[in-house]
Amino acid sequence: MDGIAPWVQVAAQGPWLYVVVILLVIADAFVVVLPSETVVVALGSLAFSTGAPNILLLLAVAAVGAVIGDNLCYRIGRSIGTDRFRWMRRRRIHAAFDYARRALTRRPASLILTARYVPFARIAVNLTAGATGFSYRSYLPLTLVAGASWAVYNCVIGALFGAWLAAYPVVAVIVSVLVAIALGVAIDAVAGRLSRRKTADGSTL
């Protein structure tokens, strides 16, 4: 596996890599299937195990992309609402929007900050924030904090395994991505369970 590491390192040194990363992270804010977390984690691992890409530049690009993407999603929600298209009216998706709407009135800061870590949740929350007219003056600073913390989280996961497996950069990338995926699944499962519990509690009141 180490035989392909030089090729990976060469690709990681190109300036266009950062352009691709920021575009991917922006798009991932409203397209669930784009794996921006795994890309940032993989590159963070590569940065520590091979020296490229530049970890600080990667961190900055990921954070800026996350903030831009979330704010674009907010603007889309403000423009089209949460029921314009048929897929938005599906039962589970509509329930997610309803939950986000209720939660935004009770605990907006914690909701926006934590939703950034769960792919579909961040879309539902950001669209709903825009659609319900949630104060943009309050929303923007929350997305700045959420985007920065999300970027640090993913880069740190990659960096930890990149430093641990510095002699095996490709192995470090694979292990860090697998761990990141596992953590993402765990976070998603916990968030889903908490959401269902709160919805059930609300229905019994």
**Total number of domains constituting the chain:** 1
Give the pLDDT band (50/70/90) at residue 56. Answer: very high
CB atoms within 10 A of CB 119: 20
* H or E segment to which residue 196 belongs: helix 169-204
Distance of alpha carbon 74 from alpha carbon 53, whole angstroms = 31
Q: How many residues does the chain have?
A: 205
* Range in 28-37, 46-55, 160-169 with the lowest mean pLDDT: 160-169
Task: Report how far apart the first and last C-alpha atoms of the chain are (Å, whole number).
Answer: 57
Please tell me whether the overall predicted TM-score, pTM, comes out greater than 0.85 for this model.
Answer: no
Full domain range(s) for residue 188: 2-204
pLDDT digit string (tens) for 155-186?
888 888 666 655 555 555 566 566 666 665 66
